[in-house]
């Protein structure tokens, strides 16, 4: 999925359904979405449904191998007595190719630590899944001028257990916590500044391997603002929550 740094990057549109849409709703969604979005080679579409809806989504995609699917979370152990958890090998066996790691809701609602994000990224890679490591500052951190410090810390910590070659295959999502689900979006300039800092840090950590890693923006992205965010320097795609739940709306975003 990595792209040449010199070629125009083809954008990635990722949908994070969070805890919405069971299998029946997922089937209805896919029926509508697939009629509204014809395969396009100049973009990548990725859907993260709830794990229990993954089979329904994948079923609908049998003829549409252009659309990728992932899970929203994994445990770092491969198997064992971890009631309620899903491991990377289980997710891969169920057809997921990607996994969100360190989403702000995992960090701030469920107390996921930087160390855990590192273990999850390593577990994902070991199982052949592509981790999308999510980083982002809280409002008070931004107000204290700590945005870069926080994002760089989360980035370094999350990638700590991977080799440089493995880092080349991850995806990064920058999602300011204050912009998630709030209707408040970072301006393209604000997003751009952080994306540029993330790129610099990726190259710092992984050298050449950090040059082409796609960096997505997330946080109240919708059909109205998606174009200006994608046009911002350093933004290689978007991770969309609320606005990805409506099939027509999601198709509009993906076609933009
Ligand atoms: P939002 O969520 O688009 O609803 O703000 C984004 C996310 O949490 O990934």
53 close to 23: Cβ distance less than 8 angstroms: yes
With a 6 A CB cut-off, is 237 part of the ligand 1 pocket? no
Distance 121 CA to ligand 1 centre (A): 20
Contacts (Cβ under 8 Å, ≥6 apart) of 137:
146, 147, 150, 151, 176, 177, 178
CATH number, domain of 80, equals 3.20.20.70
Distance 67 CA to ligand 1 centre (A): 20
Report the nearest-CA residue for atom 7 of ligand 1.
241
pLDDT of residue 9: 72
Q: Which two tokens stand for residue 77?
A: 């152990």
With a 6 A CB cut-off, is 16 part of the ligand 1 pocket? yes
pLDDT tens, 126-171?
999 999 999 999 999 999 999 999 999 999 999 999 999 999 999 9
Identify the CA nearest to 132 among candidates 213, 58, 186.
213
Identify the CA nearest to 95 among candidates 59, 50, 64.
59
Ligand 1 atom closest to Cα of residue 181:
5
Ligand 1 atom closest to Cα of residue 222:
3
Is 182 contained in some domain?
yes
Which of the residues in the chain have pLDDT under 50? 1-7
pLDDT tens, 68-90?
999 999 999 999 999 999 999 99
pLDDT of residue 8: 56
- Angstrom distance (rounded) from CA 166 to CA 168: 5
pLDDT of residue 180: 92
pLDDT of residue 3: 44
Is 198 contained in some domain?
yes
With a 6 A CB cut-off, is 216 part of the ligand 1 pocket? no
Is 164 contained in some domain?
yes
| Beta bridge pairs of residue 130 | 98
Is 203 contained in some domain?
yes
Nearest 5°: the CA angle 165, 167, 173 is 155
Distance 219 CA to ligand 1 centre (A): 5
pLDDT of residue 27: 98
Is 211 contained in some domain?
yes
Is 5 contained in some domain?
no
Domain range holding 219?
12-254
Is 123 contained in some domain?
yes
- Angstrom distance (rounded) from CA 219 to CA 242: 9
Is 2 contained in some domain?
no
Report the nearest-CA residue for atom 6 of ligand 1.
241
pLDDT of residue 1: 47
Ligand 1 atom closest to Cα of residue 221:
3
With a 6 A CB cut-off, is 247 part of the ligand 1 pocket? no
For the chain, the domain total comes to 1
């Amino acid at each position: 999925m990595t792209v040449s740094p010199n070629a125009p990057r083809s954008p990635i549109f990722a949908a994070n359904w969070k805890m919405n849409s069971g299998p029946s709703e997922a089937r209805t969604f896919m029926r509508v979405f697939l009629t509204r979005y014809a395969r396009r080679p100049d973009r990548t579409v990725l859907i993260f449904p709830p794990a229990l809806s993954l089979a329904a989504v994948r079923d609908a995609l049998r003829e549409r191998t252009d659309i990728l699917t992932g899970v929203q979370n994994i445990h770092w152990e491969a198997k064992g007595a971890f009631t309620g958890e899903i491991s990377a090998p289980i997710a891969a066996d169920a057809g997921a190719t990607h996994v969100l790691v360190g989403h702000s809701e995992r960090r701030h609602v469920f107390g996921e630590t930087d160390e855990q994000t590192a273990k999850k990224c390593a577990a994902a890679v070991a199982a052949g899944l592509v981790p999308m490591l999510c980083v982002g500052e809280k409002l008070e951190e931004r107000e204290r001028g700590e945005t870069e410090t926080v994002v760089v810390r989360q980035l370094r910590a999350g990638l700590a257990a991977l080799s440089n070659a493995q880092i080349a295959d991850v995806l990064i999502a920058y999602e300011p916590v204050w912009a998630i689900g709030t209707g408040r979006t970072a301006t393209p300039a604000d997003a751009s500044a952080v994306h540029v800092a993330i790129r610099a840090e990726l190259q710092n950590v992984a050298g050449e391997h950090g040059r082409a890693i796609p960096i997505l923006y997330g946080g109240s992205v919708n059909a109205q603002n998606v174009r200006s965010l994608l046009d911002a320097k350093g933004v290689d795609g978007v991770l969309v929550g609320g606005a990805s739940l409506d099939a027509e709306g999601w198709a509009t975003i993906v076609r933009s």
